[in-house]
């Protein structure tokens, strides 16, 4: 069964939203469990968007330099997804 590229993108975005959405209600529990103050928690949470921006910037350059055909097989191995 072939899955269309648009459905694959939709599924990946849905999985990302599901992951982040399940994380937000647990932030207070994680903060209490790790004994973090508000400043350290804020710095930790700032790492998510910073990491995302770095990954998008560096990933685009990497894909442009190597070509998308060479990048996709390496991402499949690192994610462990066979259906992509």
pLDDT tens profile 41-59: 999 888 888 988 898 888 8
pLDDT score, position 55: 86
* Same domain, residue pair 27 and 56: no
Same domain, 29 and 3: yes
Q: Encode burial over 4-30: b for 16+ CB neighbours within 10 A, e otherwise.
A: eeeeeeeeeeeeeeeeeeeeeeeeeee
Is the pTM higher than 0.75? The answer reads no
DSSP letters, 6-25, are HHHHHHHHHHHHHHHHHHGG
pLDDT < 70 regions, the chain: 73-84
Same domain, 29 and 54: no
Is 31 domain-assigned? yes
Whether 3 and 27 map to the same domain: the answer is yes
Same domain, yes or no: 29 and 53: no
Q: Count up the domains in the chain and report the number.
A: 2
Tokens, residue 75? 């991402």
Q: What pLDDT, on the 0 to 100 scale, is given for residue 73?
A: 65
Q: What is the pLDDT of residue 74?
A: 55
Q: What is the pLDDT of residue 36?
A: 92
Give residue 69's domain range.
48-79
- How far is residue 29's CA from residue 26's CA, in Å, rounded to a whole number? 5
């Amino acid at each position: 069964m072939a899955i269309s590229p648009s459905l694959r993108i939709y599924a990946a975005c849905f999985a990302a939203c599901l992951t982040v959405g399940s994380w937000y209600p647990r932030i207070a529990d994680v903060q209490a469990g790790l004994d973090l103050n508000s400043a350290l928690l804020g710095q930790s949470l700032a790492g998510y968007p910073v990491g995302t921006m770095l990954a998008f910037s560096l990933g685009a350059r990497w894909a442009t330099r190597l070509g998308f055909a060479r990048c996709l097989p390496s991402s499949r191995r690192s994610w462990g997804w066979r259906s992509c």
